Amino acid sequence: MIAASYDKYKLTAKEARDCIIISYIALFFGAYLFYHSIIISAAAGVFIPICMKYYAGMLAEKRKDLLTVQFRDFLYSLSASFAAGRHMRDGLVEAKGNLSLMYGESTPMLVEISDMLNKIDGSRAPVEEVFKDFADRSGVADIQSFFDTYFICRMTGGDLNRVISRTSAMLIDKIGIEKEIRTLVSQKCFEGKIISLMPIIVILFLNLVSPVYIEPLYTTVMGRLIMTAALGGIAYAYYLTSKLTEIEV
């Protein structure tokens, strides 16, 4: 199925159901850990839409990462096709055959190539039009850059084979560097998120070994305010850790 936009992800019925169940369980026990109140814990379900939005965003980002990696392999194949003197349509056919050996037919790039070929062969749509539609929906700067280069070459009558080959080589290097950077950062990102969640482990530990010691946090107004502030601080720390490890190349 063609994605309307790769910046957004629509959860399937199964994904939505699983997300609702897991989110409610996590919210219920999380709220109970901080407030020791069944009513507040049950009411924590109002945050399920936020959890679903976060989960959908995470899946959208994962899909875009996969699309970017597959686009790099697409450029390898396309560069070889242009070097052999073939046109974009023939390059798409060859790329589809090459990528089908590496990925499943339902993966993003193969679905997009199949759709572009259907439009070109079935609807007689111009190559530039179908590629522009894909580039606009992808939300990936590298794909948009490639389309802009291809479009300019077609409009100005430039040396398409040479320019596309050079552009492909540059984008392949850029995507490879970005992948290496993300691999290096992912470990630190994971460590940061674990550290930001450590206070929850400490509170759980105190509840198990010394409930009397932290009882005022659950029985007084000031204690409730402190726990609320702590919960907000943990959520902000988790959010900040995610943002600090986002690196644009």
How is residue 231 written in tokens? Answer: 């919960």
Report which DSSP code applies to 3: -
pLDDT tens for 77-101 read: 888 887 787 788 888 888 888 888 8
Report which DSSP code applies to 197: T
CA atoms of 105 and 102, how far apart (whole Å): 10
Nearest by Cα to 242 from 57, 14, 5, 25: 57
Q: Are 187 and 177 in contact (CB under 8 A)?
A: no
Cα-Cα end-to-end distance for the chain? 29
pLDDT tens for 106-115 read: 888 999 999 9
CA atoms of 196 and 67, how far apart (whole Å): 30
Q: What is the pLDDT of residue 248?
A: 59
Residue located via tokens 């320019």: 163
User: In Å, what is the CA distance from 180 to each residue of 60, 69, 75, 92, 227?
Assistant: 20, 12, 18, 27, 40
pLDDT tens for 47-66 read: 999 999 999 998 998 898 88
- Please name the residues in contact with 231: beta carbons below 8 A apart, sequence gap of 6 or more: 34
User: Is pLDDT above 60 for 249?
Assistant: no
- How many CA within 13 A on the CB side of residue 36? 14
Q: How confident is the model at residue 1 (pLDDT cuts 50, 70, 90)?
A: low
pLDDT tens for 120-174 read: 888 788 888 888 899 989 888 888 888 888 888 878 776 777 777 777 778 778 8
Q: How confident is the model at residue 246 (pLDDT cuts 50, 70, 90)?
A: low
Q: Greater confidence, 23 or 72?
A: 23
CA atoms of 62 and 58, how far apart (whole Å): 6
User: In Å, what is the CA distance from 146 to each residue of 25, 83, 106, 167, 216?
Assistant: 45, 16, 23, 7, 61
